[in-house]
Chains A and B, each alone.
Chain A
Amino acid sequence: MSFDAALPVIFMALMGIAMLIYVVSDGYDLGVGMLMHRATPAEKDMLVASIGPYWDANETWLVLGVGILLIAFPKAHGIVLQALYLPVALMLIGLVLRGVAFDFRVKAKEGHKVTWDRLFFAGSVIASVAQGWMLGRYVSGFGEGWNYPLFAAAIAAALPMAYVLMGACWLVMKSEGALQEKAIGWARLAWLPVVVGMILISMATPWVSATVRDRWFALPEIIALITIPLSTAAALATLRALLNTQIVKGALCWLPFALMIAVFLFGFLGLAYSIYPFVVLDRLTLWQAASSPEALKVILIGVCISVPAIAAYTAYSYWVFRGKTSELKYA
């Protein structure tokens, strides 16, 4: 493949990775946000403290992903955003509310904090549900028919649950004592809906998309591909077992979260396999949707400077704030 023909593939990979990192990182942010209503006022502060240093870095990956879609695949950008017009607007409103609530809840009058906490929760829910709907529509190629909205609705319910599980696992890792116990309880509660959701979606996706069906249920590919659902099942089963142990409160508190990252990664790989080389399923390949090679080369320069910077920034902030959230107290 010539460099010019490889450019769209490079950008598709970049966009995919950006979106994966976004979903994993903002996934636990939004998950924690959705757990706010189950926390006491003191615990709410802890929840926010556990994600406060990271949310901004996490959201940059969304802008990077959508930004690449906009400037590298303008035709696809138009199709995708028009088809997802209302859910995108709802997601943005949710993200705005969640984002400003971080600052407003501590800067505003004490009495308004409760309102801002509610808005934090609401914003997290709205953004997650909207993202689930968008994922469902995108994966099914924006199909028309009675079963497509149903499919999207199922993912709109499942993705937030996955985020909640992710958020709970994050809290297991970052908190101690009573809050950690609570977080383990929340993770146990969220686990079953996530598993059920994933099973349903795995069954529904081939039903809803002929392309996916053909790609997956083909010998000999299926022998290799079966590792993806099997690995996902193994990860989820290990996660559930861990939640019953004592060691998860101590040395292995990071493992549930790591397993959830693995679950998202497997899901992403499955999705990538199903979709490539389309950027809009069955309608637009990435070469058809891409900008001219000249433009892509100009953008690539900028990306080569900034993506390492964003990655370094993200890594640094996680390193500075490693350890338990409870340690973030003034001396």
Chain B
Amino acid sequence: MDALLLARMQFAANITFHILFPTISIGLGWALLFFRLRWLTTQQQGWLDAYRFWTKVFALSFALGVVSGITMSFQFGTNWPGFMEKVGDIAGPLLGYEVLTAFFLEAGFLGIMLFGHGRVSERVHFAATALVAFGTTLSAFWILALNSWMQTPAGYTIDAAGVYHVSSWIAVVFNPSFPYRLTHMLLASVLTVSFLLAGLSAWQLLRGVAGRSAPLVLRTALTVAAIAAPLQIVAGDLHGLNTLQHQPQKIAAMEGIWETEKGAALRLFAWPDEKTRSNHLEIAIPTLGSWILTHAADGEIKGLNEFRGSHPPVAPLFFAFRAMVGIGLLMLATSWLGGWLYWRRGWNAAALPRPLLRVLAGMSFAGWLATVCGWYVTEIGRQPFIVQGLIRTADVASNVAAPSIALTLALYVVLYLALIVAYVTVLKYMAEKPEEVLETESKERAAQPAVIATSPPVVPGAAA
């Protein structure tokens, strides 16, 4: 297999694993703030239970995000050394600010948020939690600014040696696709966390544990998801319009459109064939493609054949996009149906149909799938460029030999698969613990000094 493809796969493996955890941290930080607020105002035990349990999930997720983030900081150098040499002036500060924001979080406020109950006043604790949530969101701001710049570059000049310099930081950060991509990612985090909250709570209800907190968390989750899902569809639509304007070849590949068309059909299913540059087994709805992509019946969609040699691989984009949209629609349906049923039964969790609970439990990680598919669409969709239209990925690759890359790729993939299995297993195990155990454990923890770390304080013989 060729070294460039292996390098891309390795970078993809690392960044896929990494994105799983900040996606949870961003939304979960705000959820924890909400649970804390509800407890402060209602003094209902269930909210405190919810806060305690989901704080542990946050800590575990954050830890995995940290270690994978450390790995990411090396990947630019190991895989794409030419990238930093050419666009270091732009990427450096943006990456730097993302890392610094994330660590500032850990530095100041995470420890207080995770373990500071009883150590600091309610006000300080609340402020710390709010700052953690804000910090994770700010971190996303910086990294999306960089990624968006790579998709729709702006605010730069190129010198005689081919090195990029900043002519306007405002233009660099607020480049054409940035607002859409940031919104889309933040909503993705909200949806991912909503379905994780709903799924684990549903699982707890099915198992008959967490009777105080699970109904409350489920209600919150379904309500948020029911609002976020349609918003995400709108955001996605606007994002699509923007992409059509700036990266038409990405849209063409996503939709499997080979020849430029007016009034393009929507291909629900097809088997794109790059050799013959056509689709097999196409099932399409006439005109709907142009309606969705241009909001006009006779809108023109440029075909892939106008971009020979500079368009992304078609099949991965075509299927990843459909998977993402499919999951998104499923999320919309489930959240609306689930929310409506729950409301109709007076928010009585015991009256919820068990099939619904099973569906929700099964969709606990639906957000992960949708987010990863979406990222694959946008990143593979930028190929063969690393900076759209300006720098090709092949030109910045390292000269590490293919066998070495294959070896490290295999090691990373095995490690990450094992860790994902461990993570899901531990979440399930923690979710099933009865409330009495949780209460004892948290009393034990409260008696200890505050820990400023993502790892729980270890007491010989006691559980976390």
A residues in contact (CB < 8 Å) with B = 42, 45-46, 48-49, 52-57, 59-60, 62-64, 66-67, 69-72, 74-75, 77-82, 85-86, 88-90, 92-93, 95-97, 99-100, 102-104, 106-110, 291-292, 294-295, 298-299, 302-303, 305-306, 309-310, 312-313, 316-317, 320-321, 328-331
- Report the stretch among B220-228, B256-264, B277-285, B405-413 that lies at the interface: B405-413
Nearest-CB residue, chain A, relative to B400: A85
| Chain B 58-74 per-residue mask, 1 if CB under 8 angstroms from chain A, else 0 | 01100110111111011
Q: Are A49 and B458 in contact (CB under 8 A)?
A: yes
A residues within 8 A CB of B455?
Answer: 52-53, 55-56, 102-103
A108 near B459 with CB under 8 A, answer: no
A40 to chain B, nearest CB (A): 11
With both chains docked as a complex, state the minimum distance between the C-beta of B362 and any C-beta of chain A, in angstroms. 23
Partner of B95, one of A70, A80, A310: A70
Tell whether, in the assembled complex, residue B448 and residue A328 are in contact, meaning their CB atoms are under 8 Å apart.
Answer: yes
B60–A71 touching, CB < 8 Å = no
Q: Which residues of B contact A106 (CB under 8 A)?
A: 456, 458, 463-464
Nearest Cβ on chain A to B460's Cβ, whole angstroms: 4
Are B451 and A53 within 8 A (Cβ)?
Answer: yes
Contact flag A305-B100 (CB < 8 Å), given A60-B106, A86-B407, A100-B63: yes
8 Å CB interface, B145-179 against A: 163, 165-166
Assembly CA distance A77 to B93 (angstroms): 15
Instruction: Name the B residues within 8 Å of A52 (CB-CB).
Output: 451, 453, 455-458
How far apart sit A320 and B63, CA to CA, in the bound complex (Å)? 21
Which residues of chain A have C-beta atoms less than 8 A from B457's C-beta?
A: 49, 52-53, 328
B399 at the interface (CB under 8 A from A): yes
Contacts of B100 on A, CB cut-off 8 Å?
302-303, 305-306
List 13 A–B pairs whose Cβ atoms lie within 8 Å, in order of A's numbering.
Answer: A49-B458, A52-B456, A56-B454, A81-B77, A92-B71, A96-B71, A96-B419, A106-B463, A107-B430, A295-B93, A299-B92, A306-B100, A306-B103
Query: B183 in the interface, Cβ–Cβ < 8 Å?
Result: no
Residues A59 and B66 in contact, CB atoms below 8 Å apart? yes
Mask of B439-464 contacts with A, CB within 8 angstroms, 1/0: 00000110111111111111111111
CA distance A48 to B457 in the complex (A): 9
**Closest chain B residue, CB of each to CB of A298:** B93
Given A78-B77, A313-B108, do A71 and B412 touch, yes or no (CB 8 Å)?
no
From A53, A74, A92, give the contact of B74 (CB < 8 A). A92
Contact call A77/B84, Cβ cutoff below 8 A: yes
Contact of A57 among B398, B447, B452 (CB under 8 A): B452
What residue of chain B has the Cβ atom nearest to residue A65's Cβ? B73
A179 CB to closest chain B CB, in angstroms?
11
Query: Which of B302-310, B384-392, B421-429 is found at the contact surface with chain A?
Result: B421-429
Evaluate contact between A89 and B77: CB separation under 8 angstroms. Answer: no
Cα distance, A56 to B59, chains bound together (Å): 12
A62, A100, A303: most-surrounded residue (chain B CB, <10 A): A100
In the bound complex, what is the Cα–Cα distance between A213 and B95 (angstroms)? Answer: 38
Q: Is the CB of B63 within 8 A of A108?
A: no
Q: Using A71-B92, A104-B426 as known contacts, say yes or no to A96 and B67 having CB atoms under 8 A apart.
A: yes
A64 to B106, CA, bound (A): 14
A93-B92 CB under 8 A given contacts A82-B399, A313-B107, A320-B452: no
Q: B220-243: contact bitstring with A at CB < 8 Å (1 yes, 0 no)?
A: 000000000000000000000000
Additional 8 contacts, C-beta under 8 A, given A66-B74, A306-B107: A49-B458, A57-B107, A63-B103, A90-B411, A92-B70, A96-B415, A99-B66, A305-B100
**B96 to chain A: which residues have CB within 8 Å?**
67, 71, 299, 302-303
Assess the A103–B448 pair: CB atoms within 8 A: no
When distances are taken between beta carbons in the complex, the residues of chain B under 8 Å from A74 are 81, 84-85, 88, 92
A42 to B451, CA, bound (A): 21
Q: Is the CB of A100 within 8 A of B67?
A: yes
Chain B: minimal CB distance from A172 (Å): 19
Q: How far is the CA of A45 from the CA of B459 in the complex (A)?
A: 7
Are B165's CB and A70's CB within 8 A?
no
Chain B 263-279 interface mask (CB, 8 Å, partner A; 1/0) = 00000000000000000
Chain B 75-107 interface 0/1 with A at a Cβ cutoff of 8 Å (1 = within): 011100110110011011101110110011011
Q: Which of chain B's residues have a CB closer than 8 A to the CB of A77?
A: 76-77, 81, 84
Report how far A74 CA is from B107 CA in the complex, Å: 26
Q: Which of B447, B452, B459, B463 contacts A49 (CB 8 A)?
A: B459
The smallest beta-carbon distance between B63 and chain A, in angstroms, is 5
Residue of B whose beta carbon sits closest to that of A329: B459
